[in-house]
Amino acid sequence: MDKINMTEIKLTQTVQKGGCAAKLPAGALREVLSGLKQNRPAELLVGHETMDDACLWDLGDGRLLVQTLDFFTPIVDSAFDFGAVAAANAISDVYAMGGKPATAMTILAFPSSVLPLEMIRPLMDGAMAVLNRAGIALGGGHTIDDDTLKMGFSVSGFVHKGRHWTNAGARPGDALILTKGLGTGTITAALKKGEASLPWIQGAIESMTTINDVIDAMAPFTVNAATDITGFGLAGHAMQMAEASGCGFLINPDSLPTLKGCFECLEAGHLTRAHTSNDVYTRAKVAWNLDGADAAKWTEVRRKLVVDPQTSGGLFLSLPAEQAADALKAIRSAGFVSAAVIGEVVPAEKMLDGKNLIFTR
């Protein structure tokens, strides 16, 4: 096959699925891996059991090592932008555990028979723009020749013990804050079809390349639980956090921050396979309790929104309700202007029929 001229390449056209929408379905993966035998030393404080964002290893000196890894296929057309999105997405998991990333290693699968090797430079330029902004040292990496382009990073960071966050500590009475708008999945699906307007694409890229560093902004506050919203959508990751915490979440769909163009894309049917798999994954634990003439409309459109697979989405934080207003102000001052309080945590026994996530006004 002849190589494509680099100036003519649209990366989204080289793959069938892109970004975090390319994840394997969470429910199927959980079933396949259940009962996996593994070594579990005492130093491993957080592993995969609660489907948290990264693992935590006790270094024994008051610090915890935060370790994570993420990679995926192109979700945007520009090599520079794809590298930046891949880096921002990978380092997000460290922030979601309350830590600061320190080092990264590149993971790159490159189709050298189709794409020019010169494209590796703008991919890495985009990634380095994000890693440098975050103060992260690139330590090296690994590349292979593959049929499709895939890029990501293994990331290590640190957090002081007792200041770390997990997805298992939400408490009844907490407020729930989401730091970024939803909609990257549907907008990039429209991009792949050539049906997304330039401002929508630019807004999604700006969101996906914004690093989730709210650690300093949140230092004065008590974060009881946290995760980042990625491929399983808001519903999937919120469901996991509620389950891990043994609580229920009430979320107001009218309060959800969104990216410009996401409703137009959803209503036009720009969906991914992950919209369906995320809906299947969450269906048994999620309920909609809406009243009035708009109930049917909200249920249809917002249900698609909350299962929209996010790439480099926002942080989802649970903290005492009395701190929420000041915390939200601090988060917005840190650059997350669309951040919003979207719900509250309630005791599990107040939920209906075994649900742990209810969208209600």
- pLDDT of amino acid 51: 77
Q: Which of 75, 55, 68 is nearest to 151 (CA)?
A: 75
Across the chain, mean pLDDT equals 92
Residue 1 predicted with pLDDT over 50: no
CATH number at residue 34: 3.30.1330.10
pLDDT per position as a tens digit, 142-158: 999 999 999 999 999 99
Task: Summarize the confidence of residues 286-303 as an average pLDDT.
Answer: 80
Distance, in Å, from the CA atom of 123 to the CA atom of 146, rounded to the nearest integer, reads 16
Q: What percent of the chain has pLDDT over 70?
A: 94
Neighbouring-strand partners of residue 140: 105
Q: 73-82: b or e for each residue (b if 16 or more CB lie within 10 Å)?
A: bbbbbbbbbb
- pLDDT of amino acid 293: 65
- Last residue in a domain, options 103, 127, 160: 160
The contacts of residue 271 (CB under 8 Å, 6+ apart) are: 185, 186, 189, 304
Looking from the CA of 294 toward its CB, the CA atoms found within 13 Å total: 7
Q: Are residues 201 and 155 in the same domain?
A: no
Question: Structural domain tally of the chain?
Answer: 2
Q: Between 300 and 276, whose confidence is greater?
A: 276
- Secondary structure of residue 334 in the 3-state scheme: coil
The contacts of residue 105 (CB under 8 Å, 6+ apart) are: 138, 139, 140, 141, 142, 153, 154, 155
- Crossing angle of the two packed helices 184-192 and 198-208, in degrees rounded to 10: 130
The CA angle 77-78-80, to the nearest 5 degrees, is: 150
pLDDT per position as a tens digit, 201-210: 999 999 999 9
- pLDDT of amino acid 133: 98
Residue 315 counted as domain residue: yes
- pLDDT of amino acid 5: 59
Which residue has 């975050």 as its token pair?
134
Q: Between 1 and 166, whose confidence is greater?
A: 166
Task: Summarize the confidence of residues 165-186 as an average pLDDT.
Answer: 97
Q: Are residues 37 and 89 in the same domain?
A: yes
Are the C-beta atoms of residues 13 and 148 closer than 8 Å to each other?
Answer: no
- pLDDT of amino acid 18: 61
CATH number at residue 236: 3.90.650.10
Q: Are residues 156 and 198 in the same domain?
A: no
Residue 62 predicted with pLDDT over 80: yes
Residue 325 counted as domain residue: yes
Question: Alpha helix (H) ranges present in 166-287?
Answer: 184-192, 198-208, 233-245, 262-267, 273-282
Residue 3 predicted with pLDDT over 60: no
Distance, in Å, from the CA atom of 182 to the CA atom of 311, rounded to the nearest integer, reads 10
pLDDT band at 294 (very low <50, low <70, confident <90, very high): low
The contacts of residue 11 (CB under 8 Å, 6+ apart) are: 74, 76, 77, 78, 79, 82, 149
pLDDT band at 7 (very low <50, low <70, confident <90, very high): low
20 is catalytic: yes
Q: Are residues 213 and 108 in the same domain?
A: no
Task: Burial-class residue 342 by CB neighbours within 10 Å (0-12, 13-18, 19+).
Answer: buried
Residue 18 counted as domain residue: yes
Task: Summarize the confidence of residues 327-338 as an average pLDDT.
Answer: 98
Structure tokens at 116: 């020019």
Task: Summarize the confidence of residues 12-28 as an average pLDDT.
Answer: 70
Domain carrying residue 225: 174-360
pLDDT band at 50 (very low <50, low <70, confident <90, very high): confident
Q: Between 341 and 50, whose confidence is greater?
A: 341
Stated pTM of the model:
0.93
pLDDT per position as a tens digit, 65-115: 999 999 999 999 999 999 999 999 999 999 999 999 999 999 999 999 999
Catalytic residue among 20, 55, 247, 265: 20
Task: Summarize the confidence of residues 47-56 as an average pLDDT.
Answer: 83
Q: Are residues 214 and 355 in the same domain?
A: yes
Q: Between 221 and 53, whose confidence is greater?
A: 221
- Last residue in a domain, options 106, 127, 160: 160
Q: Are residues 218 and 343 in the same domain?
A: yes
Phi-psi region of 124 (alpha: psi -120 to 50; beta: other; left: phi over 0): alpha
- pLDDT of amino acid 77: 94
